[in-house]
Amino acid sequence: MVDVHLVANQPTTINLTLQLPPDIGKVESAVIDVAGTLDHVTLNNLPLWKLVARKLAHLAGKAVDPGATATIRVGSNPDTVCESGVLYGPFSATLASTLVVEPATATADGATLDIINLGMMTLCVTITANFDCTLSVDAVAMDIREGRCAAPADFAGTWTGTFECGNWCLQPYGGYQQMTVVQNGTDASFVDDGGDAFAGVVCGNMFRFEYTGSDFRERGTLTLNEDGTATMRSTWRSLTQPYCGGDCVDQVTR
């Protein structure tokens, strides 16, 4: 869940990091459903899709129909995506008797598909609205089509290395880690130093994994490099208050 305060007629930026579920292999095509994403948006704690122009105009203290424009940039690095990510849009959203979004979707190009298949995609959404409000986003709608995976690489064994994780509530953290991967064909799993069990699917040289517990969820990928090392990327989100999260990057050797 991301909460952002919008000031009328001023661009506001939201960064969202997405991870595909571990049972999805190589993505062959993808379409960002902008209109569908708005089903997961609330304005001042009211579902956007339930609002009509008169209600929102009254809420915003305006006599005109409220509206907004947005652009989306896609990248793999949350620190640079807003400046150099692949650009989509602008998109316009207006409210009459129903919500109208133009264009309603954005089809991912080849550069975006490469980013998706790295295992971590960051969206930089810039919104300019003609009214003040607090906007909340809890999901992004996307239609994807899977392609065929290459033969699964061998990830079995004990991996060690260092990791660095972000935490938007507190300071970043990091340290040493060790994990033992158990693999049976395309199915693989491991237990981290904290005792949490991760499981997922191997597609070619990438192992997608996921953990969902009572207090946090983490999804990520372990990708084999040409020199025999591996790069581990993941995104974690807490499931209880205060809602925190961050991105992790690990370099490990077997």
**pLDDT number for residue 179:** 93
Collapsed DSSP state (helix, strand, coil) of residue 60:
helix
CA atoms within 13 A on the CB side of 47: 7
What CATH class is the domain 157-253? mainly beta
Tokens describing residue 28: 């062959």
Between CA 69 and CA 126 the distance in angstroms is 8
Between CA 143 and CA 76 the distance in angstroms is 19
Q: State pLDDT tens for residues 73-99.
A: 998 877 789 999 999 999 887 766 566
| DSSP per residue, 191-241 | E-TTS-EEEEEEETTEEEEEEE-SSEEEEEEEEE-TTS-EEEEEEEEESSS
23 sits in the region (left: phi over 0; alpha: psi -120 to 50; else beta) called alpha
Q: State pLDDT tens for residues 51-73.
A: 444 455 555 555 555 577 889 99
Per cent of the chain over pLDDT 90 is 28
**pLDDT number for residue 235:** 84
Q: State pLDDT tens for residues 135-165.
A: 677 667 888 888 888 899 999 999 999 989 8
**pLDDT number for residue 60:** 56
Stretch 113-133: mean pLDDT: 81
- 0.95 surpassed by pTM: no
**pLDDT number for residue 207:** 93
Q: State pLDDT tens for residues 164-201.
A: 988 888 888 888 999 999 999 999 999 988 888 999 99
pLDDT bin (cut points 50, 70, 90) of residue 48 is low
Stretch 110-124: mean pLDDT: 84
**DSSP conformational letter for 97:** S
Which residues have a Cβ under 8 Å from the Cβ of 108 and sit 6 or more positions away? Answer: 29, 30, 31, 32, 74, 116
Q: Where in the chain is the domain with CATH 2.40.128.20?
A: 157-253
